[in-house]
Structure 1
Amino acid sequence: MKQYPHIIVSNPSEHKGKWNQVFNNDHPIHVEVGTGKGQFLMGMGMLHPEVNYIGIEKYDSVIITALERAIESEQPNVKFLNEDVTNILDYFDQGEVDRLFINFTDPWPKNKHEKRRLTYKGFLDLYKQILKPTGEIHFKTDNQGLFEYSLESLSGYGMSLHNVSLDLHKSDIEGNVMTEYEEKFSQKGMRIYRCEAKFR
């Protein structure tokens, strides 16, 4: 990973507030937390060259696959951070991010693990600080329980919900890019839940 600092950015805190300098443009910045193997982010990067994408993934074993994909495609608008999302305020300045993606995160179904869910109010506190006032959170999951919890958490936090889908692949939402998990689950006939949320 150290051989590709232009793809997996080391010491991201050094770029806090200056990510447009890293990309050498003033395009909007979209961040995916828990980016996994990078399929979603690479797909989005290809579809939207006018957007800068940053994926955060803490597990080395997983982000290696994302790196391999990025090396092969040579997309200049996609970067990765091998970091923990709990430290996201160290990497982005206030209002620096235009959109945040949360895709197929661990549902942490036990009540005692609620604070670990990436749609828990503690995480929303962090997201609100790095997102622009007009910023959005886009959320996808196969887990109905997590989706119901997240809708309640997002709306309870004072966010407005848009484009809520209880079966994404049977909806009229356009431009959907699938993650690895999404492909796997949808092939089994499982529902994919999706929503968008904005701070009021």
Structure 2
Amino acid sequence: MGKDKLRKFAEIGTFDNVVELDAGKALKGQWAKTHFKNDNPIVVELACGKGEYTVNLAKLFPEKNFIGVDYKGNRIWRGAKTAIEEGISNVGFLRIQIETILEYFAENEVSEIWITFPDPQPQDSREKKRLTNPTFLGRYKFVLNDGGFMNLKTDNDGFYNYTLEQIEILGLPKHVETADLYHSDLVDEVLSIKTYYEKKYLAVDKNINYVKWSFDQI
């Protein structure tokens, strides 16, 4: 690991808005009350990377709490530092492996989940790593409260189509879907938030896929 990455890993250990690994287990079921000191809804961004979506959603919706989840501390550092520098108090970051999410969030604790440009894991042998496979969807259903929404933005058409297939197989209600977000009439202040990777894809005219669904019918 390079010196800059090591520095960032060390620095996030001093950030009040970053919780790492086992330390987050004590907050299960208590994120709003204990970490944010309020009773506002919890919104989670999975595979948050540099945290652009987490931070910008927090700016748009000060009446909600936002948690970016990723394992790579050197990426989380950027979003966490921005939130500190700009005094954004309704945003936090959790450094864990996403497959362990049930150890950190209680049943019905989360009101909405975003998945933004995750690794699509295209090889058939890595389907179990895809963040919208049936196992992961079952975990999200557990932590989402009634009426909670799932959102996926991805440049990867194969991963998008795979996700649509899982939604269809499970008979889940889709609320919004498009294979070309920026050539649709769906773009608003939320969907126009762009991550580091999204900007790179748009620079080469790559279409961006988006789908919003829920678990209400399960």
Q: Which range, TM-score by smaller chain?
A: over 0.9
The reply on whether 1:183 has 2:199 as its aligned counterpart is yes
Unpaired stretches in structure 2, ≥5 consecutive residues: 1-11
Deviation, 1:97, is 0.3
Distance in 1, Cα, partners of 2:40 & 2:58: 12
Deviation, 1:155, is 2.3
- Check conservation: 1:52, 1:78, Cα contact below 8 A: yes
Per-residue CA shift, 1:104-133, capped at 9, x if unaligned? 111111111101000000101111110012
Match of 2:8 in 1: none
**Matched letter for residue 37 of structure 1:** K
The reply on whether 1:113 has 2:129 as its aligned counterpart is no
Unpaired stretches in structure 1, ≥5 consecutive residues: none
Deviation, 1:180, is 1.3
**Matched letter for residue 106 of structure 2:** D
Deviation, 1:151, is 0.5
Provide TM-score, normalisation by structure 1. 0.96
RMSD over equivalenced CA pairs, Å: 1.1
Deviation, 1:66, is 2.0
- Check conservation: 1:40, 1:180, Cα contact below 8 A: no
Match of 1:36 in 2: 49
The reply on whether 1:159 has 2:166 as its aligned counterpart is no
**Matched letter for residue 202 of structure 2:** S
Distance in 1, Cα, partners of 2:119 & 2:130: 7
How many aligned residue pairs are there? 199
SS of the residue aligned with 1:3? coil
**Matched letter for residue 9 of structure 1:** V
Distance in 1, Cα, partners of 2:81 & 2:89: 14
Match of 1:57 in 2: 70
- Regions of 4+ moved over 4 Å: none
**Matched letter for residue 195 of structure 1:** V
Match of 1:71 in 2: 84
Q: Which moved more, 1:171-180 or 1:52-61?
A: 171-180
Percent identity for Structure 1 against Structure 2: 35
